[in-house]
Amino acid sequence: MLDFQTGMPPAYKTASIEDLKMRVQSVKEKMGDRLFIPGHHYQRDEVIQFADAAGDSLQLAQVASKQHQAEFIVFCGVHFMAETADILAGDHQKVLLPDMRAGCSMADMADISQTERGWKQLQQLFGDTILPVTYVNSTAAIKSFVGKNGGATVTSSNARKVVQWSFTQKERLFFLPDQHLGRNTAYDLGIPLENMAIWDPIQEKLEYQENLEDVKVILWKGHCSVHMNFRVEHIQKLRKEDPSINIIVHPECTREVVALSDDAGSTKYIIDVISNAEKGSKWAIGTEMNLVNRLKQSYPELEIQSLNPTMCPCLTMNRIDLPHLAWILESLEKGTIYNQIIVDRTTSFYAKEALHKMLTLK
Ligand code: 13P
Ligand code: SF4
């Protein structure tokens, strides 16, 4: 019987890892340049080993905007990343996601009708003084909304640059959907927390107690359920046990966690810092577990641990596993396309504008 949630035949679930690895490799060899597999750094080891390009969200968007040769892009990451790849791909290219359940709980915290309703109310409060900017961790429809309204997408790697640019365009910034990346980035750029309001899309209400004139940044009330698991008490406990430990976290963590850490930055930034770290140094990392474990294996000369000792990987990133990758690839080789991600042309048009703005900002 087929897996009722994904449609994958059961034989893929029972096949041995070694067998599946050989089969994936064989499809890759047979399809050659017709196939391209991008993989996010948060993917499982069993999957990322087959990636033709591994990267963070920005690197993968850059790759997708340049990869115009392959007929099929099998995206090992989550749904919004595959949508981004489809938006940036040529008409002759098809993007496939090995498991359609690989979503992102943060992206799910903002839908387009909430966004349009919120925007209307914010326009009434602030007039035409706001520029919308969205983290790439959002639906194609929200990227399109942002593009239509003159804004841009951001990733954690270029958030500073995009937020700086946004203030050359408008007086205020509306940052979707991750309040923490928005708050941490604006704070780093010198905007005081008192000038930041929160937009609650459920209550449809602005959370702000002071004079509205003082609002510079409006943060959508969304978060990453993975990075919220790193807390101040984890930092305090580790520092107490070992004051020499270096703590580095992703800016999707709360302001309090980022402020207490030694350093914070995107996935790529964390990888770069660890790869240049002094031999024997000790690190506690506040980001996704597949990546932390990989860094631990790659740099045995360092003492690396997760900032939260009971941390799990991002469950939706983890949905892309070797059986689903093998199933999608073998089906493709036989001429059957499963799980194609298609962003309609109108949505794509404006979403591409928002993405291009980000990719071309100097
Ligand atoms: P980056 O790839 O921009 O570091 O984002 C992390 C993340 O949570 C991706 O879903
Ligand atoms: Fe979404 Fe967070 Fe998982 Fe990234 S780590 S895919 S933001 S839930």
> Ligand 2 centroid vs 223 CA: distance in angstroms?
9
Which residue among 42, 154, 253, 289 is best mutated to probe the pocket of ligand 1, counting the most ligand atoms within 8 A of its Cβ? 42
Among the bound ligands, the one closest to the CA of 264: 1
- Ligand found nearest the CA of 79: 2
Rounded alpha-carbon distances, angstroms, from residue 211 to 126, 194, 202, 206: 12, 10, 23, 12
Q: With 90 as the cut, is the pLDDT of residue 126 above it?
A: yes
pLDDT band with cut points at 50, 70 and 90 for residue 227: very high
Contact 316 CB / ligand 1 (< 6 Å): no
Residue range(s) in the chain whose domain bears CATH number 3.40.50.10800: 11-103+316-344, 107-225, 227-306
Q: What is the pLDDT of residues 38-65, one digit of tens each?
A: 999 999 999 999 999 999 998 998 998 9
Per-residue model confidence (pLDDT) at position 58? 87
Per-residue pLDDT of 243-298, as tens digits, reads: 999 999 999 999 999 999 999 999 999 999 999 999 999 999 999 999 999 999 99
If you measure from the C-alpha of residue 289 to the centroid of ligand 2, how many angstroms do you get, rounded to a whole number? 11
Is 156 a pocket residue for ligand 1 (Cβ < 6 Å)?
yes
Which of 41, 101, 288 maximizes ligand 2 atoms within 8 Å of its Cβ, making it the mutation to test the pocket?
288
- For ligand 2, atom 7, the nearest C-alpha belongs to 224
Q: Is 185 in the pocket of ligand 1 (CB under 6 A)?
A: no
CA–centroid distance, residue 286 to ligand 1 (Å)? 12
- Closest listed ligand to the CA of 229: 2
pLDDT at 347 over 70: yes
Say yes or no to pLDDT of 93 above 90. yes
What is the full DSSP assignment across 276-294?
A: TPPTT-EEEEES-HHHHHH
Q: Residue 240 and residue 229: Cα distance in Å, rounded? A: 20
Q: List the residue whose alpha carbon is closest to atom 1 of ligand 2.
A: 104
Give start and end residues of each alpha helix (H) in the chain: 11-14, 17-31, 45-48, 57-66, 79-88, 112-126, 140-148, 159-169, 179-188, 232-241, 255-260, 267-275, 289-298, 322-333, 345-360
**What's the whole-model pTM score?**
0.96
Please give the CATH architecture assigned to the domain spanning 107-225: 3-Layer(aba) Sandwich (3.40)
3-state helix, strand, coil in the chain (%, to 5): 45, 15, 40
Domain 227-306 sits in CATH at: 3.40.50.10800
**Domain covering 11-103+316-344: architecture:** 3-Layer(aba) Sandwich (3.40)
Nearest-5° Cα angle at 76, 69 to 36 = 15
> How much is the pLDDT for 25?
98
Residues with CB under 6 A from ligand 2: 42, 78, 104-106, 137, 224-226, 288, 314, 316-317
Ligand 2 pocket, mutate which of 43, 106, 228, 267 (most atoms under 8 A from CB): 106
pLDDT on residue 130? 98
Answer yes or no: are the C-beta atoms of 43 and 76 closer than 8 Å: yes
State yes or no: pLDDT of 356 exceeds 80.
yes
Among 153, 167, 159, 162, which Cα is nearest to 185's? 159
Axis crossing angle, helix 140-148 with helix 79-88, rounded to the nearest 10: 50
CA of residue 307 to ligand 1 center, whole Å: 17
pLDDT higher than threshold 70 for residue 1:
no
Check pLDDT > 70 for residue 238: yes
Ligand nearest 313 Cα, by number? 2
The answer, yes or no, to whether residue 6 has pLDDT greater than 90, is no
Which protein residue has the closest C-alpha to ligand 1 atom 10?
137
